[in-house]
Amino acid sequence: MLSQVPAGGEGEGPPGSVPPQGPLVLGNVQPEVFLAVIEFLYTNCVTLNSHIALEVLTSSVEYGLQDLCKLCVEFIKDTLSVEQVCEALQAAVTYGQADLQQHCLAFIEGCTAAVVRTRGFHELSDAALARVLRSDRLAIDELDLVQAVREWAHVSSAVLERPVAEVAALPVRELRLPLLAPSELAMLESHNQRDLLIPAESIAAAWRSHALRRGSGVPPRLCRPRRGTRPRDHHRHLDPHAK
């Protein structure tokens, strides 16, 4: 970055020399964030706060500063909040930070109902949201989770300028529709006619599980109640070990 030849200046100066140039403008980095990076480069320490930690993490990955990355991850893990946990999870997914992913997921599992109402939840990528929805330990009922995913999908659809069904294709696969009671499923089917959030075949498979009184043709994971799932009479028929 520092030694690149300016436009129109190729070949100027002796080989290997740093070409003369004006200030390097890093337009996508806030001054406070870059000052933290500079502090780390000179001192091997860094002063972080909750406002800049995720951006410093981004810069540490961009500039290949592994030790700074580790410091950022530890700080983020120690200061997670309901408002910021989804933003931290998104960063962890984007930069392949498996330990931070697990920590964020455990936090979300503990206060799911509050997390799904945050702006950060609505800004998750489809891959990050699908990762959350695979958990058995979410502290929220499936009907409320479907509504949260619907709200997320409408926000993503507006931002990405793509149809609701298209942006939600990946996370919707993780919704556990067989857990819903018939009356809830009928209401969901009615709402679904407006935005086509859920594929018709997924709803049909949930109805089939009711008709046959077992999770026939449905992946077993979609029949498992989550930690926050409200009990319903038909759940005993979804248990493969039930007599």
**What is the rounded distance in angstroms from the CA atom of residue 72 to the CA atom of residue 126?**
24
Instruction: Write the pLDDT tens digit of every residue in 154-168.
Output: 999 999 999 999 999
pLDDT level of residue 186 (50, 70, 90 thresholds): very high
**What is the rounded distance in angstroms from the CA atom of residue 91 to the CA atom of residue 102?**
12
The long-range contacts involving 223-226, CB below 8 angstroms and separated by at least 24 positions, are 223/176, 223/178, 223/179, 224/136, 224/176, 225/176, 225/179, 226/135, 226/136, 226/137, 226/138, 226/139, 226/140, 226/142, 226/145, 226/176
- 3-state helix, strand, coil split of the chain in percent (to 5) is 60, 0, 40
148 has pLDDT over 80? yes
- Quote the pTM value: 0.87
Instruction: Write the pLDDT tens digit of every residue in 124-144.
Output: 999 999 999 999 999 999 999
pLDDT level of residue 243 (50, 70, 90 thresholds): very low
Residue 172 structure tokens:
């919707």
Instruction: Write the pLDDT tens digit of every residue in 29-80.
Output: 899 999 999 999 999 999 999 999 999 999 999 999 999 999 999 999 999 9
